Amino acid sequence: MTFDADTLYRLLPAIYRIRDVDQGEPLKALVQVLAREVAVLETDLEQLYDDQFIETCAEWVVPYIGDLIGNRPLYTNLPEFPSNRDQVANTIGYRRRKGTAAMLEQLARDVTGWPARVVEFFELLSTTQYMNHVRQHNLVTPDLRRWQELTYLGSPFETTPHLAEMRRIASQRGRYNIPNIGLHLWRLQPYTLSLFLSAARPVVPLADGRYRFHPVGLDAPLFNPPLPEILFTLAAPINVPEPLPRRVLYEELEAWRQAIANGQSFQPEYFATGDSSQTGARQPVFEIVVVDNGVETSIPPEEILICNLADWRRPPTTKSYQPSDPDQAPVSLPIQVAVDPLLGRISFPPGVVPEQVNVGYTYGFSHDVGGGPYDRGDSVFPLLERPVTWQRGVSLTADPADADVVPTISEAINQWNARPPGSFGVIAIIDSQTYAEDFPTINIPEGSQLLIVAADWPLVPIPDSPLLQRQLGDLAPEFLRPHLQGGLTIAGTAPDGNDSPGELFVNGLWIEGSLTVQPGNLNRVQLDHCTLVPFTTTEPVPRSLAVQADNSLLTVQLNHGMIGPVTIAETIEELRLVTSLVDGGGDVAIAAPDTPTHIQTSTLLGTTTMRSLEASNSIFTHTVTVQRRQVGCVRFSSLPLNSQAPRRYQCQPNLALAALAKQLNLPAIEDPDQQAQIERQLSPQFTSRRYGDPAYGQLSQRCAEAIRRGADDEAEMGVFHDLYQPQRETNLRVRLDEYLRFSLEAGIFYIT
C-alpha cells in the first residue's frame, strides 16, 4: 500500500474533510506535506531492503558487502569495470570451484575483460605413465599424421608433450613443469563488418580477379569473431579473437565438400550460420558477395578454397572428391574463389573478373581509435543538440526516387555548398563502401556547421500512417566504416573579421588522402574517430593534415584518430590531440612552429615542432622542439633528452636519470654515455609500427615498465592509455593470490 496524499486524506473522518473544504482545504495542504515526507521514508525503507542484496544494492554498499565475505577491492577506474558488483556477486561461486582450470579461466575473463585460456602445464609433460592411469593423448613424440596437434603447436591449445622446464613461469621464462599454470590472454579486440559489407580492393587499378579484404589494399589477417563460451568450460580456438588459421579453415571446407560428395549432412564450426545448440548465434567468419550487372550473389562457403596466396596463385574452377562408396565415380564440385585468411587476399579463377566484390569480415585492433564499426554515439549525439536544418544520406545503392539519399559524396557536398549561412547540415554516409571520387571543396559559411558522419539514417513510422520517413538528426553511428579514396579540401568562406566563422565535424571515416584547410576564415575543424591513412603500398609519401595560411581563428582538434603528418603553415588558435596516433614514418609528425598545441594520451611517431606545448601521458618517439618554453608543461610523458621542451614533470628518461643520480649521491648524471644508455633502455618499444597491422602502435611487452606504467594514474603512456592494461593485470594478480591452489604458480602470457 502506498500512502500518497489522497490516500492519507481519505483516511481522515468525513466531518473533518467537509469542514476543511469550507475553510479552503488547509488540512489537505498539510496532508500533502506529510505525504511527501512519508514517500521519502518509504523510498528509504525500500532501498534499505534492496541494500541487503548485491544485485540490487546501492553502489556505495558494494564494498561493505564485499568486506563481509572477505572480497579484496580492485581497481575500478577501468571503463569496462566501473563497479566491483560482479566481482562480489561471483565470489562465493569462485570459492566453491577454487583452483580448477575452468574457474581460473572465468576469473581471468571477469577481472580483465579479455578472452582467456588456462593451461595446466603438468598435463603436457612428457613422463613415464602409471599403467593404472594411462593418458593415451599424452605421447612422448608428436604424431606427424595429426594435423590438429601440429597446427596448435606452441599455442595455448596445444596437446603435444614437452620436457620439463625448471625456470620459473612467473618471469615467463619457463612453462612446462608440475606447479605451473599458464593464463593466456588476447588483448586485441575484434571489429566485425557484417551488417554493412565493405568493398574489396583490387590489386591493380584495372581489376584482374585479385583482391584484398583491406579497403586500402594492405595485407592484413582476418580475425575470428569469438563465439561466447558455455559457462564453466575451457576456451576453444573458436572462442577467442585471433587470426584465422589457414589449415583449420581448409580442413573444415574440405570435410564439408567431402560430405556433399558422400551425400551426407555437415555441421560447420567456423562457417556456421543461424542459431544452434552447438554454435549459438553465429555468422560465417567471412563472407564474399559478387556483384555483376547490379545483381548481388553470395558465394557459399563450400565453394571457397582456402590456400596460401603469397604468390597470388589462381584456384581451379572445380575439385574432384571420391565418395565413401568406392563403387561410385568421383564427384566434381565447383570452386568459385580462393581466400588466404592470414594475408587477407582473394583470388578468382583465371578469366573470372567480377564487376565488384563486397566482403564481410572481422579484423583486429587494440582500441576504438580511427574509423571503425564500433559505437561512436558519445561523440556524435552531443553535436546534434543544435537543431539540424539540412541532411543528406549517401549510399552507392541509393534509390533514385529517394530525394534524401544521393549516390555520391560529391553530390551531397555540392548541395551543402548551396545552403545559406547559418545552417546546420549533416551528410550521413549510410554504408561501408569505397567512394573513389574527385571531391569538391567543402565551403563552410559564417555561422554554419557541417557534420560528415558514418551513420545509418533509419526510416521510422509516421504517426497514424503506414508510411515511413527519415527525420532530421536521427542517426545510428555504429556498424559502419566507409572509405573515401581521395583527399578532402575545406574552405571557410566567412568574411575577414567576422566573429562567428563556420565549423566542420568529421566522424568515423577512413580517408585515403590528405585533408587540406584552404586560406579563409574558419572557427573549428574537428576529426573524431577518423583515420587519415598515413601510408599506402602504392604511395609511400605520407598523407597529411595540412592547414594553409590565413586561418588565425581556427582550432584543429583530433579525438581518437590516426593520421599522417600534421602541417600548419601559420598561426592558428590551437591544435589539440586527444587519444590519437600521429605517424610521421620516423620523419616529421607535427610541423606547427607558430601554433599553441595541447596533446593528451597520444603517440607521435616522428619529430614535432610547435610554438608552445601542454602535454600529458603521451609518447614522443623523436625530438620535440618548442619555440616558447617558458610557458606550458610536459607531464608524465616520454620524450628524448635532446628535446627543447618546456618544464618536464615526471617524464622519462629524465625521471630515471634523477633517480640514478640520487642513488649515486650525485647532483646529476653528466656522463653522455650513461645518459645515452638510460635513454636506450627507456626508449618506447612497439609491437608494430606498420600501419595496417592489428597491433599497430601497441606497446611491446619488451617496453620498459616506466613507460607501460608511467602515466599519472599508473596506466601506460600513449594512445592506448584508456585501456588501463596495467591495472587489469594487477587486478588479475590480486585475485590469483586468493584463488590459486597451494604450491601452484601462475604466469600471464599475452597472445596478442
pLDDT tens for each residue of 243-270: 999 999 999 999 999 999 999 999 999 9
What pLDDT is attached to residue 277?
A: 42
- Pick 336 or 41 by higher pLDDT: 336
> How far is residue 420's CA from residue 751's CA, in Å, rounded to a whole number?
55
Q: Read off the pLDDT of each residue in 105-127 and give the average, rounded to a whole number.
A: 88
Give the model confidence (pLDDT) of 544-600 as tens digits.
899 988 888 899 999 999 999 999 988 899 999 999 999 998 889 999 999 999 999
State the DSSP code for 251. H
Per-residue pLDDT for 537 more than 80?
A: no
Decide: 549 and 517 in contact? Cβ < 8 Å: no
* Per-residue DSSP letter, 564: S
Using left for φ > 0, alpha for ψ between -120 and 50, and beta otherwise, residue 318 falls in beta
Cell of 168: 620459473
Instruction: Convert the pLDDT of each residue in 189-234 to its tens digit.
Output: 999 998 889 999 999 988 899 999 999 999 999 999 998 877 678 8
Quote the pLDDT of residue 278: 46
pLDDT, mean of residues 289-300: 91
At residue 579's C-alpha, the angle toward residues 710 and 446, to 5°, is: 145
**Confidence band, pLDDT 50/70/90 cuts, at residue 390:** very high
In whole angstroms, give the CA distance from residue 286 to residue 279. Answer: 16
pLDDT, position 557 = 95
| pLDDT value at residue 279 | 44
Number of neighbouring beta carbons within 10 Å of residue 13: 8
- Quick one: pLDDT at residue 255? 93
CB 608 within 8 A of CB 622: yes
Flag whether pLDDT at 280 surpasses 80.
Answer: no
pLDDT at 608 (0 to 100)? 95
Lowest mean pLDDT among 271-285, 381-395, 507-521, 637-651: 271-285
pTM beyond cutoff 0.85: yes
The pLDDT confidence band at residue 332, using thresholds 50, 70 and 90, is very high
CB 707 within 8 A of CB 638: yes
**C-alpha dist (Å) from residue 12 to 1, 8, 31, 33, 39:** 17, 7, 10, 15, 18
Backbone φ and ψ of 62, nearest 5°: -55, -50
More confidently predicted of 379 and 465: 379
Q: Angle 38-42-43 (CA atoms, 0-180°, nearest 5)?
A: 120
Q: How far is CA 294 from CA 167, 351, 352, 357, 372, in A?
A: 62, 20, 17, 12, 27
Given a cut of 60, whether residue 402 has pLDDT beyond it is yes
Q: What is the pLDDT of residue 276?
A: 46
Q: State the pLDDT at residue 305.
A: 96
Quick one: DSSP state of residue 621?
-
Indicate the SS3 state at residue 571.
Answer: coil
Confidence of residue 536 (pLDDT cuts 50, 70, 90): low
Share of the chain above pLDDT 90, in %: 57
The single residue listed with the C-alpha cell 612552429 is 593
Place of cell 581563428: 553
What pLDDT is recorded for position 392? 94
Cell 601521458 belongs to residue: 617
| Average pLDDT across the chain, whole number | 89
Domain limits, the chain:
5-50, 76-187+730-750, 189-365
State mean pLDDT over 151-176.
86
> Look-up: residue for cell 611491446?
700
Evaluate whether 197 touches 397 at the Cβ level (below 8 Å).
Answer: no
Q: What is the pLDDT of residue 275?
A: 54
Question: Is 515 in contact with 546 (CB distance < 8 Å)?
Answer: yes
Burial class (CB in 10 A: 0-12, 13-18, 19+), 324: exposed
